[in-house]
Structure 1
Amino acid sequence: MTDDVYQRYSLKHVINASGKMTILGVSKVSNTVLAAQKVGGQNFFEMAALTEKTGQHIAKLLGAEGALVINSASAGLALATAAVIGQGSEYHVYHPNAPRFNKREIVMPKGHNVDYGAPEEVMIELGVGQVVEAGYANMCTPDHVDMMITDQTVAVLYVKSHHTVQKSMLSIEDALTVAHKHGLPLILDAAAEEDLRKYVQLGVDIVVFSGAKAIEGPASGLVFGKQPYIDWIEMQTHGIGRAMKIGKDNILGLTAAIEQYLQDGPEDGEHMKARLAPFLTALNEVPGLTATQAQDGAGREIYRASVKVAADAPLDAKAVTAALKSGNPAIYTREYRANEGIIEFDIRAVDEGEMAQIVARLRQIMEEN
């Protein structure tokens, strides 16, 4: 059946060595999750009750006051923005652009206003908010955030991601302290993070996760944290959130994925390093390549193969990644540092056989050019 789909639509097979990336469908889901989706897809529910009850169940699992399954982390940012502007106003739900709601500023570190596949600021603007950047591209302190807060500010936004500038940045705890000093909520974009309970325990008001990344659920998102913010976000699903609605199958699928994730957890760092070791050895045998182990830039327990393409190699790193993607299977890597001559391989969704295919393809590319 799998091969039939690739053949029917003339699609390439893909080896995903780039990580939990939206452009490749993010993650594989387990049979447990698929079973939950099947129940959802083949039955009817009172959707308001399904949304409420699964949210209550997830909140209890995470130790949060409230939770809501949505269709993506991006939707979570837009809905959270609209929620803190409207603050529970039903009028706002139906008139999000009304001039009576004149407090719309969301303060965030300048180095966090990144493009993760879409710009952070676009999601804020979708929620009819206005981004106010604090600090500089290479530095943001608590004072930088504090000085940008005015009587028009409705929240502080912090992005926990490898996409953001890491050096000389205030911590989540710092951002939380500044926000609460002014009686404002902290919205945390933690889309690809792995610890579902950590940020609630820190006291973050609104936490936004992707359902399909670390959790390995279906296409979905999760917002959780404190009341009344989660209630306000739920209200927004009847306004701008109507364009972002999630189906019953994926609500149940994500709920099952969260249960499974909390029970089993992600692959631990030591196991990942053990799987990585023979891959590194094989990569180092390819002419023109030097491979080393590298930890995730945001400090997560994720270890990757960092491959340096020699300056005198027949192709540079950008050309190598292009050649990898051009084949069938198409091999996708992390290309963020290709301009420095470095290619990273994320092995979380790569098995031993696929690692061998990657090494063979690299050898072919380097020896044929």
Structure 2
Amino acid sequence: MNTDSVYDELGVSPVVNATGTKTRIGGSRIRPDALEAMNRAAEEFVRLSDLQARASERIAEVTGAEAGYVTSGAASALTLGAAACIAGDDLGRMARLPATDTPAEIVVPRTHRTGYDHALRASGATIVDVGMNDRYLGTGSHNTEPWEIADAITEHTVAVAYMAKEYTEPPLSTVTAIAHEHEVPVIVDAAAELPPTSNFERFVNEGADLVAFSGGKAIRGPQTTGILAGRRDLIRSVAAQHLDMHAAADVYTPPSDLVDVDRLGGVPRQGIGRLMKVGKEELVGLLVALDRFIEEDHGALREEWHKRSKRLADALDRVPGVSTEISAAEEVAVAPEVVVTVAPDVAVTDATTVVGDLRQENPRVFVGADSLPEAFTVNPMCLDEEETTYVLERLRAHLGGNGN
């Protein structure tokens, strides 16, 4: 396998990515058209508020939301979305964040809690847990009952947060109905829930007020980009807290669709979003990648991924002590993964050793470690045919198999 890359020149081992669009190994490959557009964008200047206003229009067209915004990743979208829910159009509250003059609580079902909700807390919000883990006890009860969400909403609640996965409950439409009855917005983390493209509209249609998507995963835009889609008033607050606001009031004329100067009543100070800025190159690259993603034949892609997964599974099944299963594509799943289970009493090694040893090679090979110690996963989403062959060769070498 050819490893003649810029990373070799820098003395850094490149990675063969068999685990999917993980940030820690670079996300996905930027689309060639997006990369070309980024290079062209770098040659000239543009007012970023104008570019964000155009992006807002395009994101609205794609998602069915009232407006949209390009952020520096999906986590940034969550922070800015939470900041908008806290501050609204209040310039004073914007200027004080992440300090808040009154409690700013975001209600989250306990089973939706992840390391990524740190992005919500970064805005100054406090997370309020609701629900239990009862389903895992086999009692038949639900992790979070709708009444628990309603009961947790008080005068200090600024939002309800929802992690969009196939296993999360209650249904989003139930959560949004409860939140809206209490006049509270719902922020949905849908960072990795593309494809299908129907998910762009799905969460908005189910009542979400703000939805965060990654721009650097399946969309294959710049890894440092994200998309926030939702209510126009909240997106305006995001823009006011994100854009460079060192501006003289007499000539402060941002696009009216993006920033409502009259409603704000003044020029905002540099907001909490200033440390999350997005360059003109990333903005342009994301918009081009988004258009290409919409045009893509995702059925053909899924078929290609399944074929690649089946090739891997069929070959690994012939290795003593190894069994495989191809995960079913659930409603909001992306690519079918191969779950590789290793029986250490039969195989020549164990799953943990395989995963660890592969990561020490040059090039490093990354497979999914979420199922350790019994199993690991192989995701075909970021592999081409040559890389698939290489991954299979390395797996069989470690597991004791031969051939392809």
Report the TM-score when normalising by structure 2. 0.84
Partner of 1:130: 126
For these two proteins, the number of residue pairs brought into alignment is 358
Amino acid at match of 1:252: V
Cα displacement (A) at 1:343:
0.9
Q: SS at 1:306's partner residue?
A: strand
Matched, 1:344 2:345: no
1:255-266 correspondence runs (5 A): 255-266=287-298
Q: SS at 2:193's partner residue?
A: coil
Q: Percent identity?
A: 29
Who wins on radius of gyration, i.e. which is larger? 2
Q: SS at 1:197's partner residue?
A: helix
8 Å CA contact 2:3, 2:14 repeated in 1: no
Cα displacement (A) at 1:275:
2.7
**Cα 1:328–1:63 shift into 2, 3 Å:** same
Moved more, 22-31 or 169-178: 169-178
Cα displacement (A) at 1:285:
2.2
Matched, 1:328 2:362: yes
1:295-314 correspondence runs (5 A): 295=328, 299-312=332-345, 313-314=347-348
Q: SS at 1:133's partner residue?
A: strand
Structure 1 Cα separation of the partners of residues 98 and 303 of structure 2: 50
> What do residues 64-109 of structure 1 show as CA deviations (whole Å, max 9, x unaligned)?
2100011111111111111111111112221225553x14000011
1:201 is aligned, of 202, 205, 211, to: 205
Q: Structure 2: give runs of 5+ residues left out of the alignment.
A: 135-142, 243-269
Structure 1 Cα separation of the partners of residues 59 and 98 of structure 2: 32
**Cα 1:98–1:15 shift into 2, 3 Å:** closer
Structure 2 Cα separation of the partners of residues 200 and 36 of structure 1: 29
1:84-163 correspondence runs (5 A): 84-97=85-98, 99-100=100-101, 102-115=102-115, 119-120=116-117, 122-138=118-134, 139-161=143-165
Amino acid at match of 2:160: V
Report the TM-score when normalising by structure 1. 0.91
Matched, 1:278 2:279: no
Matched, 1:250 2:251: no
8 Å CA contact 1:286, 1:359 repeated in 2: no
Q: SS at 1:60's partner residue?
A: helix
Cα displacement (A) at 1:207:
0.5
Structure 2 Cα separation of the partners of residues 39 and 14 of structure 1: 28
Moved more, 3-12 or 28-37: 3-12
Structure 1 Cα separation of the partners of residues 389 and 10 of structure 2: 27
- RMSD value over aligned CA atoms? 2.0
8 Å CA contact 1:191, 1:208 repeated in 2: yes
**Cα 1:287–1:356 shift into 2, 3 Å:** farther
Structure 1 Cα separation of the partners of residues 85 and 66 of structure 2: 17
Cα displacement (A) at 1:290:
1.1
Cα displacement (A) at 1:136:
1.4
Matched, 1:241 2:273: yes
**Cα 1:276–1:136 shift into 2, 3 Å:** same
> What do residues 249-282 of structure 1 show as CA deviations (whole Å, max 9, x unaligned)?
0000001111111111545433322232222111
Amino acid at match of 2:89: G
Amino acid at match of 2:97: P
Amino acid at match of 1:96: L
8 Å CA contact 1:103, 1:151 repeated in 2: no
Partner of 1:230: 235
**Cα 1:184–1:265 shift into 2, 3 Å:** farther
Partner of 1:70: 71
Cα displacement (A) at 1:303:
0.6
Structure 1 Cα separation of the partners of residues 314 and 20 of structure 2: 21
